[in-house]
Each structure stands twice: as C-alpha cells, then as structure tokens.
Amino acid sequence: MFKPISCVQTNVQVGYRRFPDPHFQPLIKAWRCELTALSHVFNLYFVACIDTIQVYQPSFPNQSISAEADLVLHPPVSSPDLESGIDPADPHSITRLHVDFLGREEILLATCDDGDVIGYRVPEIHRAIGCRRHSSDGEDEPADEGRVRVFLHRNVGGSAWGLAIHREARLIAISANTHSVTVLAYALASTSASDSDDSLNTESAFTSSEEEGDFPHPRRRDHVITLTAQTNIPAVSFDNSGLDPSGRWLYSSSIDGANHLWDLHQPDVPARILELGHCVSVKDPTTVPTPCRCRNRESVPHAAWAALFIDPRSCHQCTSFKEALGPGFGPDGPTQIAPCFWDNTELKPRFTTRQSGPFPGFLGQNDDSSSDGSDDMPLSDTEEEEEEEEEEDQAHATAQLTGQLLHQPSPESASGTHEAEDVPGSNNEHAQGGEGETHPPPDEPLFVPEVPAPPHVVLATWLNDDNEGEDGDDESDDMSQLSDAPDDLLQLIEAETAAGLPPLPRPTPTAPIKLPYCELSTSESFRDQPQPPKPCVIVTKEEIYLFQRPFDSAGDLSDPIMTMRNPLYPPEELERGAPPAASYHRYCYVTQVPELGILILATPAGRAGIFSLTKATEGLQRPLYGFRLDHILPFVRRDGKNVIEDSWGRRLVGVAVGPVQGMLDPSDSDGDGSGTEGRNRGARRWRLMLMYHDHTVYSYELGKYREDGSADLGDLVV
C-alpha cells in the first residue's frame, strides 16, 4: 500500500527575532524566481540579498541559521552601465540561485537582472569558511571572499532568469528576457582532466555551435548554442536521470504558455511545442484559444513557469488509479474532459486555514491557537514556549504595522500602491513597487479575514456560444458583488491601498468556467522515441499537468493528461469554494527530489505543496503516470486536522531542499567536494527550508516510512 513521505516541521525562525534591528536586516527582493539553495555535499545554505549571496551553515537538527552570514559573496559586474530588466534601482540584483553538479564538482550559479551570470565552485566556498581565523575573543572572523574564485562570468544580453545544469554532459543553460536560451557546452576532456579545477576556466573561449565536426561529438572545445523563442523564458531544465547521458534534450518554458522541447543536436527550431492551460475562451480543446477572455487575463494567467523531465523509475508504484491520484480521484473516477484530460482537482475539503495576521481577533475572527486538545508538534522545547512566542510575534507585527499606518506615505511617495501581476520582463513589472524601499519594507499588508468564496463549480459542461461574452463587463460585475461586502472590510481594503501596501485579494464574483486545452506541434526533423517512456510535468501560473509521452506522438491527445487546478488552494468547507489567493500568486517555485519520488511546488503567496509522483497499471498494458497532493505547507495539526497557516503579505522568496547533515553526498578524501549524487532511493532524510522576504524561515524534514509505517532509526538520529 502506498504511503506518502513523512513531513515533520523542525523549526520556525521569525525574521524579526534574527534581526531585532531592521536596519541590519539584508533586503531580499520580491518578484524573483528562486533566491535560496542548499548544497548537497556541504552544510551550506545560500540566500540572495539584492546583489550579494549570504552563505550560512544551518544547525542540526532544527536547521536554524544565524543573523550574521558565515560568508558574503559579491558577484562581480561584467561591465559598467549595464541596463536592468525590471529593477533600475539595483540592476545587478540576483534573480535566481541554482546549485547542482557539473561533472563531478558541485557549483553555485547566480543570474542577475542586468544579464550577468556568475558561477562559483561550492568546495571553494566551503574551504573559505573553514579557513576563518579565530580572533582574540574566541569569535570567528568573517571568511575571506578572496579565497573564492569565479569560474564563470558571462553576460547573456538581457535580464537572466532560468538556469539548468546537465551533470554528465557538462552543460549549462541560461534563459533570458532576450527571448533566447544560451547553452554553454564545456569540452568533454579525459576523466583526469574533467575532475581538476582547470576544467572550468573563467576565460573559456566558447565557439559557435555551427562549427562542424566537433559538436555534439567529440567536443574537444567549449561551445555555445543559442535557442530562439518568441517571448521571455523564466525556466529551463535538463534530464539528469541518466536516461539522457549526452544532454541532448532541454525544456524551456515561456510566459506565452509555450513549453519547448529542444534537441541540441538540431537546435534551429524546437523539436516539439506543448501548450497547456485552462481558459474561458476554449472552443476547440486542441488549440490555444484566442483571444483570452479570462477575468485575470491582464496578469498572464496561462504563462508557463516550469517543465520538468520525470524519471519513471522514481515514481511510486500504486495498486490503483485512486491510490495514485489521491483524494482528487472521486468515487466515479477523475473528472474526464475531452479530449484526454483527467482533472484530479480536489473537491472535498480536507484542509482548513488559520490566518496568522498582525491583528489577532481583528474583525471578529477568533484565534484558535490555544484551543484544547491540540496535537500540534511543538516548534520549541515546550508547547507553552510556542504559544508565548506566537503571542509575541503577533504583538510585534501589530505594533510594526500600526506604526506604518500612523506614518502613511502619500500615494505619490509610496513605493507602489498596487503591484501588478508580474512575469519576468513583462510590461507590468515596471509598475511594481517595493524594489527600492528602506527597512523595514513597507509591503506587509493588513490582515483581512477570509471572505467566503462563491460555491465551487464542478467542471462538467462545455461553454456554448451564448456564454462566450458573459464576462464582458468584468468591472461592473465585480463592483456589484463588492457592494454586498461588509463596510469594515471595504474600509480596510481602501486603507491598505492608501498606505502604499500590496493589495489584498478582493471579494470576487463567480467566475466563468475555465476549460482545458492542449495544442501540440512537432518539427519535421523530430523522430518519435517511444522507449523508455519519459513523462514530463508542466506548471503554469495556476495549474499543474503531467504529460505521459512527450517523446512519442502516438500518445498525443489520447493518453490521459493529469491535471490539478490551483492545487495549493483547495476547498475548505463543502458550502464554499477554494479560498482566494494573493494577487502575486503564481507557481514559480518548482523542484523535485527523485530519490524520494516527490515534486515540490510553491507560490510567492506563501504556500508550498509536496506531491508524490506515482504510477499505476490497473489492467493496462503499460503504466499511467500521475501525481497526488500529500502536504500543504506551512501547516500545523489541530484536533486531527491539517491546518494551513497563512499570513497575508509575507512573501515566499525561496524553496531549498537537500540532504540533512550526516546524510550529505560523499566527497573525496581531500574534502574537495568532488563526487556525484547518488544513494539508494529513499535511504536518507532531506531538509526543506522555506525563506520569506522578512527573513522568516520554516524548516521541515522529509523522508520515507518503513513498510510497517514506523520510522527507521535513521529517521530519528543522524
């Protein structure tokens, strides 16, 4: 019987406790893709703060980090006067961090808004911290940044966002707002040469991919390959499962909703293009609907934020489709929508939400944190300490935001009154606020109790021609609905707008039904590759999809496409629909842990979800692959229920996952960090760290249960 992985909360570090004086708090930028990372070889945690990389060493077992970083890296600028993409105040601000193996060496990459890409060797960072000298008072002096060399420094011509590394093939892919992907192909030297520091040179002379006879083989020299798309590309990914050892295939995801599958051996055009989404304008489910008439069409609702190769060997074997697809699989099976969608969106409530805002009990909302019979796991030594800390946190947040309201800036001087929905380099980005604010950042909105959402509508019928224009007068519909909202709620919404704070979700009327679509196109040069099967996961702003056989056109529009709509905002009560998400909600944080067979999906609105990747046959000749939602974070257990903790305005800026201390990847006897990742699947524990823009850190430990359902000794002791 299938058992989801265990997820145990180990610690919560409140930001203001780490930095009591906000003037000493490093600023973390909003509207980025991923600003944190964990090493898999060393106990190192990386956090990007504007144009610096703060390096910490988390403590075991609670993964707490200090206020002062063990090392601060300052990525160099390739040339003066580089133009920014979205942040004129800090053009060199970091947009993404990424840690992975290049060959046998673990590296850290950073992309910047001015187009710079910088690479460091993680072993050098570890050695620099280890060489710190002790001062006379017994304290460690700051690590010497000069000991850490840059092995890669390149500008890709525009704001850079996506990063991917192919370990075995020694490839680095970088996507940018130039509508292109730059692939750096390092020379394939002998084993002895590839393991040395000299194999990665800062001044490597990359040559054009058009040079015949050397690429893809034998690759005696470094090469650069340019892949051209039509819009901005926030994410790229390689297949590091071992099923593509040459690094031939690459996914890129664009804000126009297109996911390109590239063949680097024939890079002139995409081998295949997969476009999936949900839209109210769908007439033909096999084509992308135009124009989009969704109510949130101005926020690019169909943008693609990730496409990932899935190793079929990492998927959990299940005995039935119901087991494989989880609670979204109803008694009559999934909601099937032509031509081939299996909608496993959860319709029955199994979560509740606890709003942890700065005004406890505001507007009649009861704080149940002290309810009797709670079976919460204590986050500190005792339950009493946890409750005391929570009360202090609430009081501090109340005082901080009260002070902000008493010193409201004028709309003209505020950093931004309404932050438009952002995508890298889109027109809305220049209207965003909060990029140049001083400490403390004035982007913590007032807590507003949840407004009941409209009843959930089951996706069962097609829109007919008479319904096409029902959403035409969106604003008047919205205002008529808002007129029924409580006066105190509307006054509070107006107050936070006047204060220059990010907008809270407003009560919305029932939205027209969105129907799924899937448009596929294939280049003439592409040849089907049916074996082995390579499913992929595609993530858009509001949905997640699993495509069964992207390398085999025989399954196009016939194999089930698994999907969930807004999975991190499931319904909470039978008479109510899913709770509203913040305006900056988008699923832009995506990572997977093949060793555990899980996918982690998160949104800047503050929530993260852990999905198990699954497969089941149930009488078929070949397995169907799927996924199921097992955990939504942050959460607590109260009275046997899963309670999601929400805090409006606290933005998630990074989701980092790696092995816990004592279970890190092996390194050479020299301690140089060389080696490859790999242990028996599920044989070790992993740590998951969620970083918020106010420096609050939630830490979790992930692992697998034994067959009898109990924890191994290794689950408890490292």
Alpha helices in 305-410 (DSSP H): 321-325, 383-406
- Which of 5-9, 397-401, 505-509, 572-576 is predicted most confidently? 5-9
Q: Where are the domains of the chain?
A: 1-114+116-146+660-718, 382-498
- Of all residues in the chain, what percent carry a pLDDT higher than 70? 68
pLDDT, tens digit, for every residue of 494-512?
A: 444 444 444 444 445 566 8
Given this model, what pLDDT does residue 424 score? Answer: 52
Q: How far apart are CA 190 and CA 598, in angstroms?
A: 35
Q: How far apart are CA 436 and CA 401, in angstroms?
A: 19
Given this model, what pLDDT does residue 29 score? Answer: 94
Q: How far apart are CA 420 and CA 296, in angstroms?
A: 11
- Name the nearest CA neighbour of 516 among 551, 487, 547: 547
Using the predicted structure, report yes or no on whether residue 609 has a pLDDT greater than 50: yes
Least confident of 245-259, 332-346, 430-444, 549-563: 430-444
Confidence band of 188 (pLDDT split at 50, 70, 90): confident
Segment 413-429 shows an average pLDDT of 40
Contact 518/561 with Cβ under 8 angstroms? yes
- Of all residues in the chain, what percent carry a pLDDT higher than 90? 53
Residues facing 228 on adjacent strands: 180
Place of tokens 């524990």: 685
Given this model, what pLDDT does residue 515 score? Answer: 95
Contact 213/403 with Cβ under 8 angstroms? no
Q: How far apart are CA 36 and CA 97, in angstroms?
A: 6
Residues facing 101 on adjacent strands: 106
Given this model, what pLDDT does residue 261 score? Answer: 98
pLDDT, tens digit, for every residue of 320-362?
A: 999 999 988 888 888 999 899 999 999 888 888 877 654 322 2
How many H-runs (helices) and E-runs (strands) does the chain carry? 8, 36
Least confident of 31-45, 151-165, 446-460: 446-460
- What value does the mean pLDDT of the chain take? 77
534: its two tokens: 């390579």
Q: How far apart are CA 121 and CA 481, in angstroms?
A: 56
513: its two tokens: 């039904």
| 3-class state of residue 125 by DSSP | helix
Confidence band of 602 (pLDDT split at 50, 70, 90): very high
40-71 exposure pattern, b = at least 16 Cβ within 10 A, e = fewer? bbbbbbbbbbebbbbbbbbeebbbbbebebbb
Given this model, what pLDDT does residue 215 score? Answer: 83
Contact 200/206 with Cβ under 8 angstroms? no
Segment 395-403 shows an average pLDDT of 44
Contact 667/673 with Cβ under 8 angstroms? yes
Residue 204 has a CB neighbour count (10 Å cut-off) of 17
**DSSP calls for 406-465:** HTPPPTTTSS-SSPPP--TT-GGGGG---SSPPSSPS--PPP-PPPPPPPP----S---G
Confidence band of 184 (pLDDT split at 50, 70, 90): very high
CA angle 603-664-39, nearest 5°?
Answer: 45
The burial class, CB within 10 Å (0-12 / 13-18 / 19+), for 182 is buried
Beta strands at 105-112 and 94-102: parallel, antiparallel or unpaired: antiparallel
Q: How far apart are CA 461 and CA 280, in angstroms?
A: 12
CA atoms lying within 13 Å on the CB side of residue 579: 24
Q: Which residues 6+ apart lie within 8 Å of 489 measured at CB? A: 363, 448, 449, 451, 507
Confidence band of 314 (pLDDT split at 50, 70, 90): very high
Using the predicted structure, report yes or no on whether residue 560 has a pLDDT greater than 90: yes
Residue type at position 281: S
| 3-class state of residue 545 by DSSP | strand
| 3-class state of residue 670 by DSSP | coil
Q: How far apart are CA 40 and CA 100, in angstroms?
A: 8
- Name the nearest CA neighbour of 105 among 152, 167, 185, 190: 167
In the chain the first and final C-alpha atoms are separated, in Å, by 27
Contact 695/18 with Cβ under 8 angstroms? yes
Q: How far is CA 163 from the centre of its chain?
A: 13
Task: Write phi, then psi, for 555 (nearest 5 degrees).
Answer: -95, 0
Using the predicted structure, report yes or no on whether residue 417 has a pLDDT greater than 70: no
- Name the nearest CA neighbour of 602 among 547, 657, 643: 657
Least confident of 4-13, 150-159, 394-403, 442-451: 442-451
pTM of the model as a whole: 0.78
Q: How far apart are CA 460 and CA 238, in angstroms?
A: 36
User: Between residues 457 and 156, which one has the greater pLDDT?
Assistant: 156
The dihedral region occupied by 23, where left means phi > 0, alpha psi between -120 and 50, and beta the remainder, is: alpha
Segment 293-318 shows an average pLDDT of 94
Given this model, what pLDDT does residue 190 score? Answer: 52
Segment 279-297 shows an average pLDDT of 94
Q: How far apart are CA 683 and CA 325, in angstroms?
A: 24
Residue 267 has a CB neighbour count (10 Å cut-off) of 18
Task: Write phi, then psi, for 70 (nearest 5 degrees).
Answer: -75, -25
Q: How far apart are CA 439 and CA 442, in angstroms?
A: 8
- Which of 14-28, 166-180, 658-672 is predicted most confidently? 166-180
Using the predicted structure, report yes or no on whether residue 488 has a pLDDT greater than 90: no
Q: Which residues 6+ apart lie within 8 Å of 154 measured at CB? A: 78, 116, 117, 174, 182, 184
Contact 255/423 with Cβ under 8 angstroms? yes
Q: Is the peptide bond between 88 and the residue preceding it cis, with omega within 30 degrees of 0? A: no
